[in-house]
Amino acid sequence: MSLRRNGSLKHKSRAGFTLVELVIGIVTLGIALSVLTALVFPQARQSTVPFQQMKAAQLGQSLLDEILNKAFDEQSIRPGALRCDENVGEPDFVACTSQSNLGSEESARSEYNDVDDFHELELSISQLEDTLGRSLEPFFTGFSASVRVFYDADLSGTVNTSTPQDTALFKRIEVTIQLPDNSEAVFSAYRGNY
């Protein structure tokens, strides 16, 4: 299949790459994949962090809302009555719950009626539910929550150790949300004795 022109043979050109072109292509592809692996792929993994933080904020805020809608203390639940630790020395004086006795008096979360019932509450993914008792597990996979409540009359963020009458003004509520990547988001609020 060659034609003779001007006394020489002319071959049909063949399509394809030379060995040098293949080696250069493989080296270039290797460098490009190295750059993607080192720079781009880790950024893609971190792109979920803001989404997880947003979900943690939603969960933390909903727990804080639920807690803040409860009475200040077990002794303050009586509607129309005096608050606990009010009118010291009077016959109708009722002391607020002491720091050492904070915690739930009720057996189920749906029965919690004051802020300190939530003290030392630990919620795993299977226990996360809304106030109507519906599971939040499909929406918050990998999340967990814990709650801490303590007296903080001086609003310093630390437990007060002074006399009960000085400490019963405010309770600090700290909700800690553990994210799927094991980082934590802490949300806090104060509930006043009013």
Q: Could you tell me whether strands 144-151 and 8-10 are parallel, antiparallel, or unpaired per DSSP bridges?
A: unpaired
146: its two tokens = 């814990």
Indicate if 108 and 145 belong to the same structural domain. yes
Predicted confidence at residue 100, as pLDDT, reads 81
Asked if the structure places residue 37 within a domain, the reply is yes
User: Does any domain span residue 53?
Assistant: yes
Same domain, yes or no: 121 and 71 = yes
Q: What is the DSSP letter of 136?
A: -
The verdict on 81 and 152 lying in the same domain is: yes
In this prediction, residue 77 has a pLDDT band, given cuts at 50, 70 and 90, of low
Dist. CA 72–CA 84, nearest whole Å? 9
CA dist., res. 39 & res. 89, Å (int): 69
Kindly report, residue by residue over 111-152, the tens digit of the pLDDT.
Answer: 888 898 999 999 888 888 777 778 888 888 889 999 999 988
Q: Is residue 6 part of a domain?
A: no
Query: In terms of domains, do 137 and 160 share one?
Result: yes
Token pair 């292509």 in the structure block, residue: 25
Contact 140, 125 (CB under 8 A): yes
Which of 84, 69, 77, 79 is CA-nearest to residue 193?
84
Helix (H) / strand (E) containing 188? strand 184-192
Does one domain contain both 21 and 110?
A: no
Count of domains observed in the chain: 2
Q: What is the DSSP string of 25-84?
A: HHHHHHHHHHHIIIIIHHHHHHTTHHHHHHHHHHHHHHHHHHHHTSBS-GGG-STTSPPT
Range of 181's domain?
Answer: 49-192
Q: What is the pLDDT of residue 158?
A: 84
Does residue 89 form part of some domain?
Answer: yes
Do 104 and 25 belong to one domain? no
54 in a structural domain:
yes
- Whether 89 has a pLDDT exceeding 60, the answer reads yes
Mean pLDDT of 35-49: 75
Are residues 78 and 93 located together in one domain of the fold?
A: yes
In a domain, 77, yes or no: yes
7 is a domain residue: no
Does 3 reside within a domain?
Answer: no
pLDDT in tens, 149-194: 998 888 888 887 665 555 568 899 999 999 998 999 999 999 988 7
Judged against a pLDDT cut of 70, whether residue 105 lies above it is answered with yes
| Best CA proximity match to 178, nearest among 168, 186, 170 | 186
The answer on 73 and 119 residing in a single domain is: yes
Q: What is the pLDDT of residue 6?
A: 56
pLDDT (0 to 100) of residue 23: 92
Indicate the pLDDT class of residue 19, thresholds 50, 70 and 90. Answer: confident
Confidence check: pLDDT of 4 > 80: no
Tell me: do 21 and 94 sit in the same domain.
no
**Reported pTM:** 0.71
| Whether the predicted pLDDT of 80 surpasses 70 | no
43, 71: one domain: no
Same domain assignment for residues 89 and 110: yes
In this structure, are 24 and 57 located in the same domain?
no
Three-state SS at 24: helix
